[in-house]
Amino acid sequence: MEGAAVVARTLKALEVTDVFGVVGRPVTNIAMMAQAEGIHFWSFRNEQAASYAAGAAGYMTGRPAVCLAVSGPGVVHALAGLGNAWANCWPMVLIGGATSTDHSEMGGFQEAPQIETVRPYVKMACRAESLARVPFYIEKAIRVAMYGRPGPTYVELPAEVIYDLMDESKLVLPRPVPPPPLTFADPKSVRAALELLKTAKNPLVIVGKGTAYARAEAEATHFVEKTGLPFLPTPMGKGVLSDEHSQSVAAARNLALQSADVILLLGARLNWILHFGQTPRYNKDVKFIHVEIAPEELNNSVRAEVALAGDIKAVLTQLNDLLAKSPFQFPKASPWWNALNDKVAKNKAVNAKLCADERMPLSYYRALKGVHDTLPHDAIIVSEGANTMDIGRTIFDNRLPRHRLDAGTWGTMGVGMGFAIAAQVVHPGKKVVAIEGDSAFGFSGMEIETMCRYGLNVCTVIINNNGISMGVEDLSGFEKPNVPFFVYTPQARYEKLIEAFGGKGYYVTKPEEIEPAMRDALAQKCPTIVNIMIDTAATRKPQEHPFELGATLGGKAKL
């Protein structure tokens, strides 16, 4: 057997169903043998988007998908996805080809220090020194990616290992990796957590994407409903409990964070997304109850009053069991619920007014609302671009867990096309809608060819303001190359790109065109692009706490 066949057979034995990548020396035969084994090989235009897809597939399925990259530049391109998976705690395995060992340090073809390059972003990086060891390394890479805090791993296969031959009778295939063993929290701490919640005047539950990853939606919903506590999702925690749930206080986020006295933090880190858990965004005396699979994350930034190390599904089961024995319900008729409900109603009314603005050119709010109203309830929403994503988060409802993918912990722009492909691969029957700023789309726009080639039914919506953060109406007044740095080609007809590959495009400039274009696009069987022109100077409503950069620059820059 050739080495490439050993790799493919091992992946099959380990129940890997999808490999995302780009072929070339020395990995081409791995893709060929994977297809022969019945594994889907999704051939991309750039390893960057392929690696983003592998990470997102790992998040949605709970098992790592594989990204296959050629040596040197291929691995460097795929580093983007490794970094993104590392930052988001998503499992994935990167298999990188490498120049043959007998050319090491001699300027071999695409030679690069790959292990050193990936090392800071992976839980494990290894280089197979012989073909016989390949099954061991791949099994370990999958297991390590899944167990404990999920994350990426790397296996390097030098050319001589991929091209080597072994006797088929000597091949020992690994058994599939069982799901990670559940870890339960210390029962004493579980009791302390519930006691603390009972004493709170202003309690709050924050649902992070760790809860989504843990598939703890049933347990989280049970706990929130039995206790009557208000909850707030993080961006990718949206949908663990439906955004339409009556206990969601997402629309009163600032008030909820600032005034809560006890916060149950489920699978989210106190990083920039949650303002580090510190003042002025939080009450200085707030007490955190933190549930987290990685013990070393506990007490980070803010010391937890109760630190629960364990799997969220398991810990919520412990909390629910205890609650059944000693029930408590936070009263609906309380000053805290009244204040939250008032704020939710006020903020929703402000948003509704912005969304109803029919003036031309279109605002973000009107454009996104038009898109939202046409989506099926179980659509998978991919979202990126600064304003497109931030405003979209307040407009798009998620009703199901793991149905929102966005720029995430790393704030990575350019993930959308890879994520959308992964979402359609994982959920072939569902509508996948990638709502992209025009600049975010540009990073991996050529992957629309990948979508068309495989007939992946993704609807890409481009919210087009002619640039990064803002644009201009035309470039004729600028002497080149002194074109404003934030500007892209005005009125770019991105929708025409997809027609080159057999998809269908729509160009929208007026409010009344949005819904018909979206409905038609969603009814197509082929990939589509709906290019919606908005005001080149459109912005968010003023924020009480501007994002760091805006604040540092006196709110002048809106990057």
Q: How far apart are CA 311 and CA 316, in angstroms?
A: 8
Q: Provide the 10 A C-beta neighbour count for residue 1.
A: 17
Indicate the angle between helix axes 386-395 and 364-372, nearest 10 degrees: 50
In whole angstroms, the minimum distance from the beta carbon of 490 to ligand ADP comes to 35
In whole angstroms, the minimum distance from the beta carbon of 237 to ligand ADP comes to 5
393 forms part of the interface with ligand ADP (CB under 6 A): no
Please, how many CA atoms are within 13 Å of residue 508, restricted to the half-sphere of its CB?
30
In whole angstroms, the minimum distance from the beta carbon of 110 to ligand ADP comes to 33
268 forms part of the interface with ligand ADP (CB under 6 A): yes
**Binding ligand ADP by CB under 6 A: which of 29, 88, 258, 460?**
88
| Chain residue whose CB lies nearest ligand ADP | 210
Nearer Cβ to ligand ADP (308/459): 308
Nearer Cβ to ligand ADP (311/449): 311
Q: 3-class SS at 17?
A: coil
SS3 sequence of 61-128: HCCCEEEEECCCHHHHHHHHHHHHHHHHCCCEEEEEEECCHHHCCCCCCCCCCHHHHHHHHCCCEEEC
Please, how many CA atoms are within 13 Å of residue 468, restricted to the half-sphere of its CB?
10
Nearer Cβ to ligand ADP (218/475): 218
234 forms part of the interface with ligand ADP (CB under 6 A): yes
Nearer Cβ to ligand ADP (4/415): 415
218 forms part of the interface with ligand ADP (CB under 6 A): no
Question: Which among 189, 186, 174 has a CA at the least distance from the CA of 6?
Answer: 174
In whole angstroms, the minimum distance from the beta carbon of 363 to ligand ADP comes to 28
438 forms part of the interface with ligand ADP (CB under 6 A): no
- Show contacts with ligand ADP in window 40-69 (CB under 6 A): none
Instruction: Identify the DSSP state of 455.
Output: T
In whole angstroms, the minimum distance from the beta carbon of 257 to ligand ADP comes to 13
418 forms part of the interface with ligand ADP (CB under 6 A): no
In whole angstroms, the minimum distance from the beta carbon of 411 to ligand ADP comes to 11
Distances (CA, A) of 192 to 130, 187, 196, 270, 299: 52, 9, 6, 21, 16
**Binding ligand ADP by CB under 6 A: which of 23, 39, 89, 415?**
89
**Binding ligand ADP by CB under 6 A: which of 149, 226, 399, 504?**
149
For residues 403 and 381, the answer to whether their CB atoms sit within 8 Å is: yes
Instruction: Identify the DSSP state of 487.
Output: B
311 forms part of the interface with ligand ADP (CB under 6 A): yes
In whole angstroms, the minimum distance from the beta carbon of 293 to ligand ADP comes to 3
In whole angstroms, the minimum distance from the beta carbon of 183 to ligand ADP comes to 8
236 forms part of the interface with ligand ADP (CB under 6 A): yes
Total residues at the site for ligand ADP (CB under 6 A)?
25
Q: Hey, what are 149's tokens?
A: 């805090």
213 forms part of the interface with ligand ADP (CB under 6 A): yes
Q: Which amino acid is at 178?
A: P
Q: Hey, what are 75's tokens?
A: 């691995």
Instruction: Identify the DSSP state of 333.
Output: S
Q: Provide the 10 A C-beta neighbour count for residue 347.
A: 19
Binding mask 171-210 for ligand ADP (x = CB under 6 A): -------------------------------------xxx
Alpha helices in 121-216 (DSSP H): 134-146, 159-163, 187-199, 209-213
Pairing of strands 380-384, 404-406: parallel
Q: How far apart are CA 372 and CA 243, in angstroms?
A: 13
405 forms part of the interface with ligand ADP (CB under 6 A): no
Nearer Cβ to ligand ADP (137/288): 288
Q: How far apart are CA 227 and CA 198, in angstroms?
A: 9
Indicate the angle between helix axes 312-325 and 217-227, nearest 10 degrees: 30
273 forms part of the interface with ligand ADP (CB under 6 A): yes
Nearer Cβ to ligand ADP (272/478): 272
Angle formed at CA 475 by CA 474 and CA 480, multiple of 5 degrees: 175
487 forms part of the interface with ligand ADP (CB under 6 A): no
**Binding ligand ADP by CB under 6 A: which of 13, 23, 196, 293?**
293
In whole angstroms, the minimum distance from the beta carbon of 103 to ligand ADP comes to 40
214 forms part of the interface with ligand ADP (CB under 6 A): yes
In whole angstroms, the minimum distance from the beta carbon of 83 to ligand ADP comes to 14
**Binding ligand ADP by CB under 6 A: which of 202, 383, 398, 409?**
409
In whole angstroms, the minimum distance from the beta carbon of 88 to ligand ADP comes to 6
Helices (H) and strands (E) in the chain, counts: 21, 17
In whole angstroms, the minimum distance from the beta carbon of 254 to ligand ADP comes to 16
237 forms part of the interface with ligand ADP (CB under 6 A): yes
Q: Provide the 10 A C-beta neighbour count for residue 401.
A: 27
Q: Which amino acid is at 169?
A: S
SS3 sequence of 378-393: CCEEEEECHHHHHHHH
267 forms part of the interface with ligand ADP (CB under 6 A): yes
**Binding ligand ADP by CB under 6 A: which of 7, 79, 125, 312?**
312
For residues 92 and 18, the answer to whether their CB atoms sit within 8 Å is: no
Q: Which amino acid is at 101?
A: T
In whole angstroms, the minimum distance from the beta carbon of 319 to ligand ADP comes to 13
Nearer Cβ to ligand ADP (293/458): 293
In whole angstroms, the minimum distance from the beta carbon of 469 to ligand ADP comes to 23
Phi, psi of 441 (to 5 degrees): -60, -40
- Provide the binding-site residues for ligand ADP, judged by CB under 6 A: 88-89, 149-150, 208-210, 213-214, 234, 236-237, 267-269, 271, 273-274, 292-294, 297, 311-312, 409
